[in-house]
Amino acid sequence: MNNIPKEGLIEREIRYFHAVNCLNNYYYIASENILNLGKNTQCVFAPYRMDQETGYLLLVQYVNEQQAEAAYESFLEIYMPEARETGFAQMENKKWTMAKINGQYIMIVFEAPDKDRASKLLSGVILKEE
């Protein structure tokens, strides 16, 4: 789908899917489909070693920018409303979640040990223009 960063990537555990139930099997986000995933979305879920811990990158490609924007707003509003301005938040487990939108793509890092590591992972994604 796209070029995700290789550094720290646990390649054998990369998952490709379309549906929210698949995502929730790998990493539970919410009982509702807050990212509006479906047959027209392409998703990559990849784990990364971050010191002794594991962080996760979710990359979702939507049909168009409007669908991506709607999903991004939904995710922020429901999953981390405190991050509406910045796109990042420290969760209850003290780990960081960071979300970013770029055209028809949403990129989210879960479970990062710090903001810098989350930001570095997101900045390493190379998006392909459709």
Whole-number average pLDDT of the chain: 93
Q: Where are the domains of the chain?
A: 11-123
- pLDDT above 60 for 68: yes
Summarize pLDDT for 33-47 with one digit per residue, the tens: 999 999 999 999 999
More confident residue, 129 or 55: 55
Give DSSP secondary structure letters for 24-78. Answer: HHHS---SS-TT--STT-EEEEEEEEETTEEEEEEEEE-SSHHHHHHHHHHHHHH
* pLDDT at residue number 8: 95
88 dihedral zone (left: phi>0; alpha: psi -120 to 50; beta) = beta
Report pTM.
Answer: 0.94
Give me the mean pLDDT over the 78-102 stretch.
Answer: 94
- pLDDT given at position 110: 97
| pLDDT at residue 130 is higher than 80 | no
Cα 70 to Cα 34: distance, rounded to the nearest angstrom: 10
Position 20 pLDDT exceeds 90:
yes
